[in-house]
Structure 1
Amino acid sequence: MKKIMLSLILIGMYLSLWAQYAGTRTLTVTFPNETPNQVCYLYLPTNVNQNGVLEITITGSFDYELNTGVLKKRITFMKQTSGYFNASYEVLAAVNPLAEKWHIGDFDPENNRIPIYHLTSTGNRLSIKVDAQMLWSEGMTAFMQNLTVSNPETLNHGKSRQYKSIMQDRVGIGTLNPAERLSVNGNIRAKEVKVEMANWPDYVFKKDYALPSLDEVDKYIQSHGHLPGMPTAQEAVANGVELGEMNRKLLEKVEELTLHLIEKDKFEKQMVLKIEELGAELKALKNKTN
């Protein structure tokens, strides 16, 4: 019981530390009418240690959030005057119509700023509320007072929109243990997926390519239970398949099969000609006999 009480006290002390060093500030910015695809930047002070949580809320009016919509994003990061360490992001609220018109980007450590994108040409006045909770009390007042927002500027096609950037080495959606740069535990729907490739199998059509005979392929299948150069069912289930590499291998097999079909077609045409010749000879022989 004493251990439980001690744990609760420690947790309470920890939470109180975070709650104690908090601040709020509201800024406003107005974008020009009929001008979509613009950006302004929320600049953070550079001379203050920034270890904690920022919650950035944007809306057309905090008095009429239900009508204008609201977008809120939490940024947990560690940045000291000596350098940048890490950051993570979470969208807490996205309510239309504002959520369709604006986007809060990720923290840009090189310029010490957070981009806010205006995607449409309407709803031009924006209120930005910044709630901060810092690990240390020193600098909290200076941090809040020195927050600034830049004037809007138009994004041209040469500039990239940092709608979402990932600072971590690996990202998981639906999984806590991503094994790749991006791991998704679920379905993905897209209009197009482009995979960069090298060593595309045009080499199959080169004269020096060692095309395996059908007898060799048959013996391999009888011995291994799958096509040469292809993963087994067990390997595919355990490790998945790489789309680019699998497409390359499948095209290689299609091209090999095409060469075999071409050879078979040539052979069949020769057989047809031979049969026609034999038929003509047989007919001539019958005519002589009669």
Structure 2
Amino acid sequence: MKKSILLVVIAALVFVLAACGNTSSSNKTSVQKTVTLTVGASPVPHAEILKKAAPLLKKKGIDLKVKVFQDYVLPNQALASKQLDANYFQHIPYLDLYNKQHHTDLVSAGKIHIEPFGIYSKKYKTVRAIKDGATIQISNNKAEQGRILLLLQSKGLVKIKKGVDGVSATLKDIDNIKHLKFLTPIDPAILPKAYENSQADLYAINTNFALQAHLNPKKDALILEGAESPYANIIAVRKGDQNKKAIKELVQVLHSKTIQDFILSKYKGAVLPVK
């Protein structure tokens, strides 16, 4: 009798240990390895959009770290030197120019949103009211020059010469119909402050800086770019990294309905998601 009881106890113990071993093994296979993804971004709207995406990426095993930059040069330097896994602040014409000037090989992993560029004025309420010889302040970002000229051309203020690609157009490539006086270009980050001081008649301001200065492009811009703009903001990575799973997951989440709805709701047309 005692022997039988002992055998039953031993059998039960073996079963429990086996079950524990299976549970441990099962837990090991079910635990998902977390990947850290560090992305550089402009404060508005890029960093805000990324922070909204972070919980969605967490569910996919990606721990998103957002590093905020206030300029347009350091994010690409940090990406090229592998301090970042990706950055989110620029469009392809700017990236192409940066690669050419700095001999880097950064590429787009996907288009995320468009920030319709605006021309602002404290002096004029309508385009028709703009006088011949009006002054205009633009940024020193050469990749934006063609964009500004295309916007001015859309309202008949200048005309880009025949045979010139509008995206790469410069001030030398226009017929200045309204004889606009282009002031010495300045850093794009200080354009909103210059606009407040209002030394010029017109100001060409990037939407991210306009939003930071609490301007509403849809209400405050005299001329505003449309959704058909070729200047979509992208996730940029080092060449080859666009095929990494974590990067693909990042782009997929940023294209999700949750994030697109967030962009439309928060920025009310000042920022438009790319589908």
TM class by shorter chain equals under 0.3
Which structure is higher in strand share? 1
TM-score, length-scaled by structure 1 = 0.20
Q: Which has the larger radius of gyration?
A: 1
TM-score, length-scaled by structure 2 = 0.21
Which structure is higher in helix share? 2
